[in-house]
């Protein structure tokens, strides 16, 4: 994930805690069954899919993992498949050479250090090749039901644009989200926010005219975008 930087102050002000609750509640109502768009069948294939998804779309990862997981559904099988053949499966994904090396190396470490299982422990996860804080947060959230918040480019943008959780680094935004989102909403909020950023609150032109969380949002340009709608909305609304 590119390290985002905040060039402007797109939100009028930070949301109040009541507005944070309303924002998340309205996203939830619009998409109650939100879940990961990555395909996986167990904790191990989830971990591999998330490692492959860095700087790549979920759709491109899903295309590649159909054959990869058929040939190597376990850490043992992945090690036996080897770096070269893993690379051949994922060549359509960005950074595929590094990712092939990491996937084989992390599979070997799972066998050697964790009895072939994905550990439910942040430090242990982050000690694996190719696994950083964001990947560990996704795995802990999706596989183990932990209330973690993985901040990708979409969540970073929404946090700053809407006044939900302003911060100049992904970690700062993560800390704000964990502090400000009600505890009972935190675990699924990861999915609601990612999907909202992917399909509605887009990077270049947020689609405010059809936003389910318009009222609590504090984005400066939201009224302009809603008034002009999809046809003539300015394309300069980034950030």
Of 99, 134, 222, 239, which one is the catalytic site residue? 134
- Say whether 189 sits in a helix, a strand or coil: helix
211 binds ligand SF4 (CB under 6 A): yes
CA 208, CA 189: separation in Å to the nearest integer? 20
**Is 2 assigned a catalytic role?**
no
200 binds ligand SF4 (CB under 6 A): yes
Q: Bridge partners of 196?
A: none
Smallest distance, ligand SF4 to C-beta of residue 11, A: 9
CB 200 within 8 A of CB 184: no
CB contact burial 137-150 (16+ within 10 A = b; e otherwise): bbbbbbbeeebbbb
CA 93, CA 16: separation in Å to the nearest integer? 40
- Say whether 11 sits in a helix, a strand or coil: strand
6 binds ligand SF4 (CB under 6 A): no
Of 71, 121, 152, 202, which one is the catalytic site residue? 152
Contacts (Cβ under 8 Å, ≥6 apart) of 202: none
Smallest distance, ligand SF4 to C-beta of residue 85, A: 43
Smallest distance, ligand SF4 to C-beta of residue 231, A: 16
* Contact letters for ligand SF4, residues 59-98 (x by CB under 6 A): ----------------------------------------
At 223, list the tokens: 């009224």
Count of chain residues binding ligand SF4 (CB under 6 A)? 13
**Is 134 assigned a catalytic role?**
yes
Q: Bridge partners of 11?
A: 219
* Contact letters for ligand SF4, residues 161-180 (x by CB under 6 A): xx------------------
27 is in an annotated binding site: no
201 is in an annotated binding site: yes
CB 121 within 8 A of CB 148: no
136 is in an annotated binding site: no
Q: Give the footprint of ligand SF4 on this chain (CB under 6 A).
A: 161-162, 200-201, 206-208, 211, 213-214, 217, 219, 222
Positions marked catalytic: 134, 152
């Amino acid at each position: 994930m590119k390290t985002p930087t905040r060039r402007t102050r797109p939100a009028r002000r930070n949301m109040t805690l009541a507005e944070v609750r309303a924002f998340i509640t309205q996203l939830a109502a619009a998409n109650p069954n939100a879940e990961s768009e990555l395909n996986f069948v167990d904790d191990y294939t989830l971990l591999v899919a998330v490692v492959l998804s860095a700087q790549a779309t979920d759709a491109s990862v899903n295309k590649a993992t159909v054959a990869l997981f058929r040939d190597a559904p376990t850490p043992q099988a992945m090690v036996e498949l080897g770096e070269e053949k893993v690379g051949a499966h994922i060549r359509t994904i960005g950074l595929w050479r590094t990712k092939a090396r990491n996937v084989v190396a992390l599979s070997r470490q799972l066998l050697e250090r964790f009895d072939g299982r994905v550990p439910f422990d942040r430090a242990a996860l982050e000690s694996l090749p190719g696994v950083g804080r964001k990947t560990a947060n996704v795995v802990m959230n999706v596989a183990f039901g932990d209330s973690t918040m993985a901040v990708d480019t979409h969540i970073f943008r929404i946090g700053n644009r809407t006044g939900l959780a302003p911060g100049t680094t992904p970690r700062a935004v993560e800390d704000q989200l964990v502090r400000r989102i009600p505890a009972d909403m935190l675990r699924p909020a990861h999915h609601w926010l990612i999907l909202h950023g992917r399909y509605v609150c887009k990077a270049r032109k947020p689609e405010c005219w059809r936003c389910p969380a318009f009222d609590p949002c504090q984005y400066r340009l939201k009224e302009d975008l809603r008034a002009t709608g999809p046809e003539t909305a300015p394309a300069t609304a980034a950030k």
